Structure 1
């Protein structure tokens, strides 16, 4: 089942502004390639086995480690990143299987672009300001801790965002939406063909001092 969120018509809404498609099936992710869509969000349930594996991770274990990745090398790439940080890949068998599942979905949409794999554990604030990625497509899945915050198109003052204004000026009304743990989102950035100035506006949730640790998986192209 899909839910399509479109901007409400108002004097300040942007004609032709993009939409967000939300569903409980992985098929929803393929909708990101549709014209006028800048977020496809798969709302899925947490997986106990993965949660158990990731409970041992500390904020210092994966300090935004990254590498180029291909579908053929993906499993080895993930294992190599874990080993580089002194972690045994065999401890994370269920997590690695899930990462591969998401990679299969993502690479089917990446149109043979170069892909960067990122694994992140953090207890600090990352990107506090609402921004748009200078990428084509970004996959995000927060496995532990609070997820990515994002704004619907009619919430965003894009001129304020583009000119460096603070968050309180970027958000026209309301509060941000937020990914839940294990939800998978694919975001269009401003580099996607014919999508300039319409990328999804989002940020990392502020968590410094909260005692929480985020575990994040990201693919960029």
Structure 2
């Protein structure tokens, strides 16, 4: 299975701008001259939707899917390795070899590793990366309970079991109330009083822009970790540009 990148608009070379930023260079000003007043979110049951992240007016692309047998293995991971935290860096072939050694043996392991490898390949293909940063963790508490924006160009997230990540539409955000601008004990700081909290479903694969995406500087997706507990854990995957 491969990701069709033909949907990326050829008139705006955002891919080069992102890669320039990753390499530590300056951003092409021509890539940031048409910043929309509001950013939208696009969803589809087809994987090609992830390429829409290159659209100027899109802040997050969500591939909606069902996990099937992967859910059973994810439950086995929670039981057999309740404190699992994998932090890896490399290509999908390297990831597969390590996960085969580090993940517990249970029905569905092969299919689970193949799925993580697929997402790694898709993410690498999307941004023309030789290596990807991977984190796979069992979570019994919220990693980032307050609404925030990642200080990176882009990130892929997916939840194999448990509650999905929570996020806000651009129109529902009060950005000066995020971080130090908000109340330290108010986990809803940054949410407009008439805004609504959205949530990814289990199995959804979301690619979200961060604050350092060239055409949305300072306007990345506002999101947070959902609640989790020892009785209600999550198996969470994130992929990063490195």
Which of the numbers 116, 134, 141 marks the counterpart of 2:151? 134
2:74 aligns with one of 50, 54, 62 = 54
Does the CA-based 8 Å contact 2:155-2:239 persist in structure 1? yes
TM-score, normalized by length of structure 1? 0.82
Change (3 A) 1:206 1:81: same
Q: Which residue of 2 aligns with 1:215?
A: 235
1:140-187: CA deviations, max 9, x gaps?
Answer: 110100000000001100111154414433110233110111111001
How far does residue 138 in structure 1 lie from its aligned partner after superposition? 0.8
Aligned CA-pair RMSD: 2.3
Q: After alignment, is 121-130 or 148-157 more displaced?
A: 121-130
1:16 aligns with 2:33: no
Inter-CA distance 116–94: structure 2 relative to 1 (3 Å threshold): same
* TM-score (norm: length of structure 2): 0.75
Q: How does 1:26-175 map to 2 (within 5 A)?
A: 26-47=47-68, 49-58=69-78, 61-82=82-103, 87-88=104-105, 92-112=109-129, 115-166=132-183, 167-172=187-192, 173-175=194-196
Runs of 4+ aligned structure 1 residues displaced above 4 Å come to none
Can you give the 5+ residue segments of structure 2 that lack an aligned partner in the other structure? 1-34
